[in-house]
Amino acid sequence: MGAEFADVRIESSTGTNVIAMDGKTKTLTSLRESGCGIRAFTGGAWGFAATNGLTKGSVTAAAESAANMAKVAKAKAKIQFKIVPAKAVTIREEYKAKEKTVDVPMEEKVEFVMELDKSMRSMDQRISSTNARYDDLESDRVVANSFGTLSRTKERWLVAACSAWAKQEGVVQRGHASNGSVGGYELMRTDYSHGLGMKAAEMAVRLLDSKPAPAGKHTVILDNIMTGLLAHEAFGHACEADAVLSGASVLEGKLGKKVADERISLVDDPTVKNTFGYFSLDWEGVKSKKHVLIENGVLKEFMQNLETGSRMGLSSNGSARSQAYNSTPIIRMSNTYIGPGDQSKEELFSMVKDGLLIKGGQYGYVEPAKGQFMFKCDEAYQIKNGEVGQRYRDASVMGLILEVLNNVRGIGNDFVLGDPGYCGKGGQSARTTDGGPHVCLDNIVVGGLT
Amino acid sequence: MDLEALAESVVKQAVRLGASDCDVIVTDAQAITAEIEKSSMKQASAVSDPGVGIRVFIKGCAGFSYCTGHESQAVKKAVSLAVSQSKSGTPDVDFKGLPEKAKPAKVAGLYEPKLAQLRHDDVVSMAIALSDRAGADRRITSVNAGVSVALGDIALANSNGFVGSQKLSAFEAFAESVARSNDDMFSGVDGGWSRRYDGRMLERVAETAKEHALLGLRKTTVKTGDYPVILDPMAAGFILATAIGGGANGESVQRKRSYLAGRLGKKVGSECFSVRDDPTIAWANGSFSFDGEGVPARKKNLVKKGMLESYLHDSYSAGKDSVKSTGNSSRGGSMWTYRRPPSISSTTLVVEPGDATPQEMLKDTKNGIYLRITYDYPNLATGEFSGLMMESYIIDKGELGPSIRQASMGIDLIEMFSAIDLVGKEAKDAYGVRTPSIRISKAKIAGSG
């Protein structure tokens, strides 16, 4: 049909979702999906077509549509380039599971979720509302391309999450906790998973006496989760090569240059096993690998897919991911973290006379073209002469990509890869994990109400 | 294929298998998208996405299942799974039944046949024209943009005899213009949403993205303190979509998760703050003739002159409060999806316009902050907002000054609504909210200056 390069993702997925609220199940969902997405490339532009049908007729029609659209797009493309042939691989893999989620009866998953819900409500009489959920997905994905690659991945992941609301004298606060990973149902049989409800409820109750955060510039200590969010939002997105090539990253032209304190190393690593961000083959059939984005403060590498690697004179480093067959693969993070330093937590706290401890992440976002990012914590604490004091809530932390990691006062040695999360980009969602050690930063703007 | 007939037959299958109540959505949707990267045509896409979603109740317990496509064996399996799931959960006496059969409302402007006639190259040409216009300045070094056209046939049936169908269309565009000057860079973004092709919207998106990329190149910082703040429709829309749309969610209120719980009939804002929910606006992306459970579309006041007048309900939350559904059961976004069970959502929130022009608002404010873009969500439990001012400007002597870097706005939502003292007259659709600019007399700004 005339394409210079083409690839296809065929998927078949099943999954379940259980949601319980306030002691009752809300909805029990079972999903079954199948379909394929086909990309065709010609002279600097792509055509993409997706169909839910897997008959020969519907797949052929999708292929024709993709090829035709690539021609239409090519005719208008100002930037011309080629996809450099990559080594063809034939590979088959299956994510390991001791107990496959498809083999666990729905009743057992419901029982688990109801137990989480109950544990929140029984923790404290001030708990006024609860929400517990469980999700799993098992997907069989085949990727094939015109270079001869043929990969098949049997992927499975699961996640449980709890939210609790506590109420006292008209004040309402929310706490949350989650656990997730690739793998099997054995994860939900751990004490940690069974303790999620208690953890969420404790946070909600704890926050009842919190005050709104004090707005202004502060010295802050970020906990492991917030350091992970910093790594993800402040630098991770700006290191995605598609952002760089689109002219929308402040890191364009900075490769090999110092962008952070020399003690900072920042990594995205999809190969860390038993994490929510894990994958061993990306969605273009390329073997994944660890990416050291910043080493000793110097920008070393961007995350690449087949296209960006070709355009930058490099190879894909296995960073392409699609939410599903009906979305095109784009460059995504996986497990993103700042490497550990050599200071103990106690040393970090002793360095702060007047500042804030920022704990637990809600969400964050960045616009790499504006060079600004923010992330929001669950709770914050005043630090006075190294001692933790007054509790605050909902502080938002913000900064400039090219400044923030030059304001490092100290880096802890207590590395933790944190909670599971989802990252949104281009209308697609990807499972990720963030983490790092406690980190002390100066001159950080903290948003608040007082 | 007759989608209504398929939906009806699936309802019957579920009832035969033991469902006491059931609703079924059958969709047949297509979308064409053209994307521009760095001012060059990058990708044209066509996605076809037919499917069936089945929700079943047994003793009030909801089971949901869906399958991609309309193939009978896949649908049969999905029905059986939905029924089986609804047997696995807990009974719920708060479920009082699905909506009774009712005639869909007559709403004009849900579907534009002309959009169905567009070819891939038409959409590509629109995206290129958008990009060229958004980049028409030597300081603009890159434009990323996109245009998408979506069409959907939707049929809904329930076990109370409701059967209905509607055709929906959507036309969306966005542009990000990146400007550079010396060592600095800034991006201006804008988006447009409608159920019909709108050439003027494309022009406005392009011009606004370009204008703000250039405006943002002049930068400054601000000192921490209290300032009057004008919220551009983009910022007001983003905040109000959650603050009012999410805060007035009847189920969140019943579960006491919302700061608006217990405030019905009470003052929550100033006299000049009125908001209604309206699914009947011609060509608005949130419009429909019946909601995700088959309830006819109707508009309702949520806040009238500062008074909270109504919450948003679907059949479940309405039944629990012994009131009628407000028709706010959503099947997700402007183009409905079969992949999720319905949930409560606002349709198009409309902020009652005032009579001030943008220039009059700036002049009247004299010195303060103009917040154009934030992507932060209010905390609905506490009723507090604290978020990054992703794009904001100093208002200096009644004029827009340099853009502010590294600053945030924090405010209690009830205080924010009560502090609204000026409302503009030029409304814009942003994030499901049709709103003009609104001014807050005082908010806490944290800055790096």
pLDDT digits (tens, 9 = 90+) for B61-101: 999 999 999 999 999 999 999 999 999 999 999 999 999 99
Closest-approach residue (CA) in chain B for A15: B65
Q: Which residue has the higher pLDDT, B415 or A247?
A: B415
Of B409, B361, B350, B349, the closest CA to residue B384 belongs to: B409
**Residue A440: predicted pLDDT:** 97
Identity of the residue in B90, B255, B391 whose CB atom sits nearest the CB atom of A129: B255
Is residue B107 domain-shared with residue B223, that is, in the same domain?
A: no
Is residue B108 domain-shared with residue B139, that is, in the same domain?
A: yes
Provide the pairing of β-strand B225-231 with B219-220. unpaired
Residue B213 has pLDDT above 90, yes or no: yes
A88 CB within 8 Å of a chain B CB: no
Q: Which residues are registered as beta bridge partners of A134?
A: A18, A160
What is the separation of C-alpha A239 from the centre of its chain, rounded to a whole number of angstroms?
14
Query: In the structure, what pLDDT confidence band is assigned to residue B242 with cuts at 50, 70 and 90?
Result: very high
State mean pLDDT over A148-167.
97
Identity of the residue in A73, A128, A326 whose CB atom sits nearest the CB atom of B256: A128
Q: Give the model confidence (pLDDT) of A341-357 as tens digits.
A: 999 999 999 999 999 99
Q: Give the model confidence (pLDDT) of A418-446 as tens digits.
A: 889 999 999 999 999 999 999 999 999 99
Evaluate the CA torsion angle A133, A134, A140, A146 in order and state its sign: positive
Chains A, B: CB contacts within 8 A come to 272
In this complex, do B375 and A365 lie within 8 Å of one another by their Cβ atoms?
yes
User: What are the chain B neighbours of A305 within 8 Å (beta carbons)?
Assistant: none
Please give the single-letter amino acid code of residue A104: V
Q: The tokens of A374 are what?
A: 């923010």
CATH of the domain at B77: 3.30.2290.10
Of A127, A315, A119, A111, the closest CA to residue A205 belongs to: A127
Residues spanned by the domain of B364: 219-238+352-446
Is residue B91 domain-shared with residue B229, that is, in the same domain?
A: no
**Residue B255 covered by a domain:** no
- Dist CA B316 CA B136 (whole Å): 52
**Residue B409 covered by a domain:** yes
**Residue B441 covered by a domain:** yes
- Dist CA A317 CA A308 (whole Å): 10
Q: How many angstroms separate the CA of residue B106 from the nearest CA in chain A?
A: 32
User: What are the chain A neighbours of B387 within 8 Å (beta carbons)?
Assistant: 374, 376, 396, 447
Give the CB-side neighbour count of residue A107, counting CA atoms within 13 A: 3
Q: Give the model confidence (pLDDT) of A256-312 as tens digits.
A: 999 999 999 999 999 999 999 999 999 999 999 999 999 999 999 999 999 999 999
Closest-approach residue (CA) in chain B for A165: B257
In this complex, do A172 and B259 lie within 8 Å of one another by their Cβ atoms?
yes
Domain extent listing, chain A: 5-209, 212-447
- Dist CA B86 CA B203 (whole Å): 50
Interface test with A, best of B84, B88, B409 (most A CBs within 10 A): B88
Identity of the residue in B37, B78, B255 whose CB atom sits nearest the CB atom of A32: B78
**Residue A167: predicted pLDDT:** 94
Residues 320-339 of B with CB under 8 A from A: 339
**Residue B262 covered by a domain:** no
Is residue B27 domain-shared with residue B132, that is, in the same domain?
A: yes
3-state SS track over B63-79: EEEEEECCCHHHHHHHH
Percent of chain B with pLDDT over 70: 100
Contact (Cβ atoms closer than 8 angstroms) between residue A408 and residue A375: no
- Dist CA A62 CA B87 (whole Å): 39
Per DSSP, the residues of A14-61 read: EEEEEEEETTEEEEEEEEEEEEEEEEEEETTEEEEEEES--SHHHHHH
**Residue A300: predicted pLDDT:** 97
What is the separation of C-alpha A143 from the centre of its chain, rounded to a whole number of angstroms?
22
Evaluate the CA torsion angle B205, B206, B207, B208 in order and state its sign: positive
Please give the single-letter amino acid code of residue A13: S
User: What are the chain B neighbours of A213 within 8 Å (beta carbons)?
Assistant: 386, 410
User: What are the chain B neighbours of A443 within 8 Å (beta carbons)?
Assistant: 448
Which residues are CB-neighbours of A406 under 8 A, at least 6 positions away? A260, A261
- If one counts the domains in chain B, the total is 2
Query: Of all helices (H) and strands (E), which one includes residue A111?
Result: helix A106-123
- Dist CA B224 CA A357 (whole Å): 20
Is residue B224 domain-shared with residue B209, that is, in the same domain?
A: no
Please give the single-letter amino acid code of residue A334: S
Residue B183 has pLDDT above 90, yes or no: no
**Residue B335 covered by a domain:** no
Query: In the structure, what pLDDT confidence band is assigned to residue A92 with cuts at 50, 70 and 90?
Result: very high
- Dist CA A263 CA A408 (whole Å): 8
**Predicted model pTM:** 0.94
In this complex, do B48 and A52 lie within 8 Å of one another by their Cβ atoms?
yes
Per DSSP, the residues of B332-347 read: SSSS--SSS--EE--S
Is residue B137 domain-shared with residue B229, that is, in the same domain?
A: no
B147 CB within 8 Å of a chain A CB: no
User: What are the chain B neighbours of A106 within 8 Å (beta carbons)?
Assistant: 84-85, 88
* CA distances in angstroms from A371 to A235, A399, A402, listed in the order given: 10, 8, 7
Provide the pairing of β-strand B349-351 with B433-435. parallel
Residue A212 has pLDDT above 90, yes or no: no
CATH of domain A5-209: 3.30.2290.10
Q: Give the model confidence (pLDDT) of B395-427 as tens digits.
A: 999 999 999 999 999 999 999 999 999 999 999
Closest-approach residue (CA) in chain A for B391: A370
Residues 11-40 of A with CB under 8 A from B: 18, 20-35
In this complex, do A445 and B407 lie within 8 Å of one another by their Cβ atoms?
yes
Identity of the residue in A72, A106, A365 whose CB atom sits nearest the CB atom of B120: A72
**Beta-carbon count within 10 A of A102 CB:** 14
Tell me the ipTM for this assembly: 0.93
Query: Of all helices (H) and strands (E), which one includes residue B154?
Result: strand B140-158
User: What are the chain B neighbours of A128 within 8 Å (beta carbons)?
Assistant: 255-256
In this complex, do A47 and B44 lie within 8 Å of one another by their Cβ atoms?
yes
- Dist CA B373 CA B353 (whole Å): 20
Please give the single-letter amino acid code of residue A96: K
Q: Which residues are registered as beta bridge partners of A392?
A: A211, A380
A424 CB within 8 Å of a chain B CB: no
| Cβ neighbourhood burial of A314 (10 Å; 0-12, 13-18, 19+) | middle
Is residue B34 domain-shared with residue B101, that is, in the same domain?
A: yes
B132 CB within 8 Å of a chain A CB: no
**Residue B266 covered by a domain:** no
**Residue B401 covered by a domain:** yes
Residue A158 has pLDDT above 90, yes or no: yes
**Residue B265 covered by a domain:** no
Integer-rounded Cα radius of gyration of chain B: 23
Q: The tokens of A246 are what?
A: 């689109």
